[in-house]
Every structure is written in structure tokens, then in C-alpha cells.
């Protein structure tokens, strides 16, 4: 499948769609998932138009993972999370719904179940507050 320039993350990268951004550098962008599965659910994407792990340039992937590591540490502190789960889905059969490579950062704690994937839109004021908590740690 060819990369679709109109996918929502491409639009966020071009500034055509809004996002609660927490971090950005030359290669990558991190922002809040608008339908979080837990509080603090954050996404990291490469700026390169890459659909999934299979067609990612390893150098771009390296830069993206450096951002994942950095933002995951900030999310962990911001949400006082004992555990951080990373998720990354490739292909519809794996549950991928947005076809621009992305890594999910999910704060986890015992006894707190995750909500269903990409189902319920969060309150935007709350997302902005959560984004600020993470920015404060970066
Ligand atoms: P995937 O299913 O492809 O691994 O994950 C896509 C993620 O993008 C889902 O967790 C979903 O909630 C999130 N998402 C979908 N549309 C938007 C959007 O417009 N803005 C943001 N920030 N996240 C989105």
C-alpha cells in the first residue's frame, strides 16, 4: 500500500489538523492520543512519510526511538507510573488504524485496565493539561 499523504498524522505534521504536542525535533513529533486508552497515552511519530515498521528507514527509526525513550521517561515521571508499555501496530490485521508509523506510550499501573483501542474521544482541556504535565518533564 502506498503512503497516504492525507492520513491524520500527515495532516498533523503539516499543521492542517490540531494536536496536543509535547515534543518535536527535526525528525520526530510527540503528541497526546486523542482517544487515550489510559491517562497520559502519548504517540511518537517520525516526520518522514513512513507507513509502518517494514518500510521505515533504520536511521529515521533510530531517531524516532530516541524520542520514544525520552518522551517515555517524561510520561513516566509526569504520571508517576510504575510501568510504561510501548505498542506499535503494523497492518490492519494487527489493529493499525492510522497508516503513518507511530509508537504508543502507555503509563501502566497494577489494577488499572486500559480502555478499548481508539474508541472514546477525551476531553480537550484534560488532554492539554496532560500534555503540559509531560512538557514540564522534558
Ligand atoms: P493505531 O491503531 O494505528 O495503532 O493507532 C492510532 C491511534 O491514533 C489510536 O490510538 C487513535 O486513538 C489515535 N488517533 C486517531 N485519530 C487521531 C487524531 O486525530 N489525533 C490524535 N492525536 N490521535 C488520533
Top CATH class of 8-135 equals alpha beta
d(CA 88, CA 66): 15
pLDDT in tens, 11-66: 999 999 999 999 999 999 999 999 999 999 999 999 999 999 999 999 999 999 99
Which residue has its alpha carbon closest to ligand 1 atom 17?
A: 34
For residue 65, CA distances in Å to 24, 30, 46, 117 come to 13, 11, 9, 22
Q: Does residue 100 have an active-site annotation?
A: no
Q: Which one is catalytic: 41, 102, 104, 130?
A: 102
Domain boundaries, the chain: 8-135
Give the predicted TM-score (pTM) of the model: 0.97
117 C-alpha to ligand 1 centroid (Å) = 9
- Nearest atom in ligand 1 to the alpha carbon of residue 96 is 3
Amino acid at each position: 500500500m502506498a503512503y497516504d499523504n492525507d492520513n491524520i498524522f500527515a495532516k498533523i505534521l503539516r499543521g492542517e489538523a490540531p494536536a496536543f504536542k509535547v515534543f518535536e525535533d527535526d525528525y520526530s513529533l510527540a503528541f497526546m492520543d486523542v482517544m487515550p486508552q489510559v491517562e497520559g497515552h502519548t504517540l511518537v511519530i517520525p516526520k518522514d512519510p513512513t507507513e509502518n515498521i517494514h518500510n521505515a528507514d533504520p536511521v529515521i527509526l533510530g531517531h524516532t526511538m530516541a524520542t520514544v525513550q525520552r518522551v517515555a521517561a517524561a510520561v513516566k515521571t509526569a504520571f508517576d507510573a510504575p510501568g510504561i508499555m510501548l505498542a506499535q501496530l503494523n497492518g490492519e490485521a494487527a489493529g493499525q488504524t492510522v497508516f503513518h508509523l507511530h509508537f504508543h506510550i502507555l503509563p501502566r499501573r497494577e489494577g488499572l485496565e486500559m480502555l478499548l483501542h481508539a474508541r472514546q474521544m477525551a476531553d480537550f482541556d484534560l488532554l492539554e493539561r496532560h500534555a503540559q504535565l509531560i512538557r514540564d518533564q522534558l
